[in-house]
Amino acid sequence: MPFARWDRRITPYLFVAPFFALFAVFGLYPLLRTAWMSLHRWDLLDGPVAFTGLANYAELFTDPHFYNALANTASIFLAATVPQLLAALGIAALLDRPLRGRTAWQAVVLLPNVVPVVAVALVFTQLLGRDQGLVAWVLASLGASPLDWQAHAWSAHLGVALMVIWRWTGYNALLYLAAMQSVPRELHEAAALDGASRARAFRSVTLPGIRPTLVFTAVVSTIGGLQLFAEPTLFGGASAGGNDRQFQTLVMYLYENGFERFDAGYAATISWVLFALCAVLAFANTALVRRFVGRG
Amino acid sequence: MRRVRASRSLPALVVALALVVAGCGGAGDGGKLRLTVATFGEFGYEPLFEEYERAHPEVDVVGRVADFDAHHKGLVTALAAGRGAADVVAVEEQYMPRMRQSARQFADLSAFGARELRDRWPRWKWEPGVAEGGDYVFGLGTDMGSLAMCYRRDLFERAGLPTDRDAVAALWPTWEAYAQVAERFAARVPDAAFADSAGTVYTAVLNQAEENYFAKADDSFIGDTNPNVLRAFRIAGAIGAAGRTAKVTTFTQPWNAAINRGGFATITCPAWMLAQIKEAGGADGAGKWDVTEVPGDGGNWGGSYLAVPAQGAHQREAYRLAEWLTAPEQQEKLFVRDGILPSEPEVYRDPVVLEHTDPYFGDAPVGRLFAASSDTVRPNHRGVRDADVRPVFGRALGRVENGAQSVDQAWEQAVREARDVLR
């Protein structure tokens, strides 16, 4: 039966082929093309000007604006991700118990995530407005002086982090919840029989049980954090991220170079460094979570 | 038409992508030739398109309007991709030096006879639209901004200042005098700022000078040594450091809100800004604002060109449309209906334009004011890398305004950053 054998051997590949075809067109090709561009002085309008080898990379690694953007990205990432994942764990733990109207609660928790990022950013920017914002009004009624959120690094980072937390906490909570519900009940029962407190059971049963999901959310948050763009751009109204670049993220710097200064080669260089960073941090994350949570 | 100091727009990227995907050109309904015209802000072209279609039944003109940033980023992306640009595109003057460097991305309109149109415009408006020593014509001038000063009559009255527009103009023959009026104003009206932002003042002062960041002769960077730049920076910086500005960035939502609630008393206004003040101020603002002469000499801020991308399939037809849209008759119609200031002397010296008044601004003789300022325009040279340097100085003034740096510190950092960016 040569056809059946051929069929069995080839058909699975045909089934997965669409993904790889799409990946080649929208993933691999841009990746390679960007790498090629990063080796040139490449004008967005005029195309390649000169082959410069690794000169763009050399310039980037001595560029203070790059390190500034990197530090801002890291700071906003920490301010956004740590509280976000902790809150998500807490919300998931609250939802993971008999609750009236559970589906409704789950839907509510996910709601912020379905609001488009542009809308979220515009609303938060207005809420945090210096002259007319709701937060300014609350601060004033408490006797505090109005805060120009964009003017200082700490307040700008906090403002951007708030938007990220608002959008993604519920999403992560639902992921955790799904994982928690797949932890075998017998383990919890056994822990209860052994006299473990609720906190102890959470630490020794739940957390190890949802380890793959913890890794997943940590990796996804890291990649999302590194690619942060829309929120801070809309918050400051420009890709420079404040008068002293105090909240310019890496992707904003990429955008500034590529689309405001038309330096596509340099922008491509930044995007490749960003790609490498994402990869490294994803691996580091996996390793870290493994160590802290231990084997299940 | 509308010019901003740096990119300040919102979903520019999204719109840019959408424009690329949308594509354009080609045959319209019923075998008609469809020409797309991409503009930004308010060009007032819609009625003209209908008029053109009536005169040319074989053509179907489709307008596409985006905001300033989305339009230009979309255009750049489309040019870089080699497809997706409209048949006729608007380009604002601050983008012209950069487009001129890539002039081959646009059709050479001299092939269709554009060189004969030269006498329509003053030299300063014609020159940015030509490349390669003037032989390659790629842009035809539309409007211009000119310069005037808008002020709030009600706030001036509270400050005990004159409200009559000639008397107000007499208050500030120079920018130094303007800064003194700011102090007089602040002493009497503590709850409103005098100007919207240091950046607007800076732009106006700088636009009255012939040279700013780059030398006219060889396009070398002179922003660090040119006294015009330092003077503009010092004047605007001092007003900002003294807290006389509302610290709102032009064209943003807080800027609109500040106009609406009378947050500042004066703003340097090119002709195209009147429409934005009206929009932000709403019906309640009618009669509160007035327009008078700007301190210093006349100047220009903004204005655009129409170009025909070389990737278009119907360049000759697109040129005919662009030529018609920028013709004196059309410029006059645009001014009378929408206040869009003509860049052609023949038009802005026309009695119809000169006698035009604006009821929203207390019947201010806007035609005469803007035309007078236009006649004294000293065209300012824009360097090819103007867009790299300009935002650096804008941000420096922002740091002065929010008290992070002194004028001197901000200047020093700006000069350093400008040199770095040009390396």
A99 in any annotated domain: yes
pLDDT given for residue B3 in this prediction: 44
Q: Is B388's CB within 8 Å of A129's CB?
A: no
A49 in any annotated domain: no
Which of A37, A124, A126, A244 to probe by mutation at the B interface, max B CB count within 10 Å? A244
Indicate the residue of A44, A45, A238 with minimum beta-carbon distance to B6: A238
Burial of residue B160 (number of CB atoms within 10 Å: 0-12, 13-18, 19+)? exposed
Domains of chain B and CATH, by start = 12-144+303-354 (3.40.190.10), 148-301+359-422 (3.40.190.10)
A96 in any annotated domain: yes
pLDDT band at B373 (very low <50, low <70, confident <90, very high): confident
Q: Coil, strand, or helix at residue B233? A: helix
Q: Kindly calculate the radius of gyration of chain B based on its CA atoms and give it in whole angstroms.
A: 21
Host H or E run for residue A69? helix A64-95
A147 in any annotated domain: yes
pLDDT given for residue B303 in this prediction: 92
Q: Express each pLDDT in A224-275 by its tens digit.
A: 999 999 999 999 988 899 999 999 999 999 999 998 889 999 999 999 999 9
Complete edge-to-edge strand list for the sheet that includes strand B289-292: B193-195, B264-269, B148-152, B289-292
Burial of residue A41 (number of CB atoms within 10 Å: 0-12, 13-18, 19+)? middle
Whole-angstrom CA distances from A284 to A222, A287, B117 are 10, 5, 65
Burial pattern B171-184, b for ≥16 Cβ within 10 A else e, equals: bbeebeebbebbee
Which single residue is written with the structure tokens 């100091």? B5
The strand pairing partners of B289, in sequence order, are: B152
Question: Could you tell me which residues of chain A have a Cβ less than 8 Å from any Cβ in chain B?
Answer: 43-46, 118, 122, 125-126, 129-132, 148, 151, 234, 237-240, 242-244, 255, 259-262, 264
A247 vs B4: which has the higher pLDDT: A247
Q: Of A151, A224, A44, which Cα lies nearest the Cα of B401?
A: A151
pLDDT at A175 over 80: yes
pLDDT at B24 over 80: no
Residue B121: both structure tokens together: 């415009």
pLDDT band at B304 (very low <50, low <70, confident <90, very high): very high
Q: Torsion angle of alpha carbons A231, A235, A239, A240, nearest 10°?
A: -130
DSSP letter for each residue of A170-209: HHHHHHHHHHHHTS-HHHHHHHHHTT--HHHHIIIIIHHH
A148 in any annotated domain: yes
Indicate the residue of B6, B80, B254 with minimum beta-carbon distance to A129: B254
pLDDT band at A7 (very low <50, low <70, confident <90, very high): confident
pLDDT at A296 over 70: no
Give φ, ψ of A137 to 5 degrees: -65, -45
pLDDT given for residue A293 in this prediction: 67
Q: Express each pLDDT in B411-420 by its tens digit.
A: 999 999 999 9
Residues counted in chain A: 296
User: H helices of B130-272, where?
Assistant: 153-158, 165-171, 175-188, 198-207, 227-241, 253-260
Q: Which domain holds residue A101?
A: 64-293
Estimate the crossing angle of helix B175-188 against helix B198-207, to 10 degrees: 160
pLDDT given for residue A103 in this prediction: 86
Q: CATH number for the domain including A72?
A: 1.10.3720.10
B37 vs B18: which has the higher pLDDT: B37
A26 in any annotated domain: no
Q: Express each pLDDT in A96-116 by its tens digit.
A: 888 888 889 888 999 999 999
Selection from B180-189, B271-280, B373-382 with the highest mean pLDDT: B180-189
pLDDT at B51 over 60: yes
pTM: 0.88
Mean pLDDT of A198-221: 89
pLDDT given for residue B371 in this prediction: 85
Mean pLDDT lowest among A89-103, B267-281, B318-332: A89-103
A22 in any annotated domain: no
Q: Is B76's CB within 8 Å of A131's CB?
A: no
Indicate the residue of A126, A130, A243 with minimum beta-carbon distance to B398: A243
pLDDT given for residue B25 in this prediction: 43
Q: Is A239's CB within 8 Å of B395's CB?
A: no
pLDDT given for residue B40 in this prediction: 93
pLDDT at B195 over 80: yes
A14 in any annotated domain: no
How many domains does chain A fold into?
A: 1
Cα within 13 Å of Cα(A87), Cβ side: 16
Q: Torsion angle of alpha carbons A70, A75, A76, A78, nearest 10°?
A: 120
B100 vs A99: which has the higher pLDDT: B100
Is residue A146 within 8 Å of A139, Cβ to Cβ?
yes
Instruction: State the average pLDDT for chain A.
Output: 91
Which of B4, B69, B253, B260 to probe by mutation at the A interface, max A CB count within 10 Å? B253
pLDDT given for residue A123 in this prediction: 93
pLDDT at B15 over 80: no
pLDDT band at B12 (very low <50, low <70, confident <90, very high): very low
Q: Can you say how many angstroms the Cα of residue A75 is from the centroid of all Cα atoms in its chain? A: 13
Mean pLDDT of B160-180: 96
Host H or E run for residue B36? strand B33-40
Q: Coil, strand, or helix at residue B358? A: strand
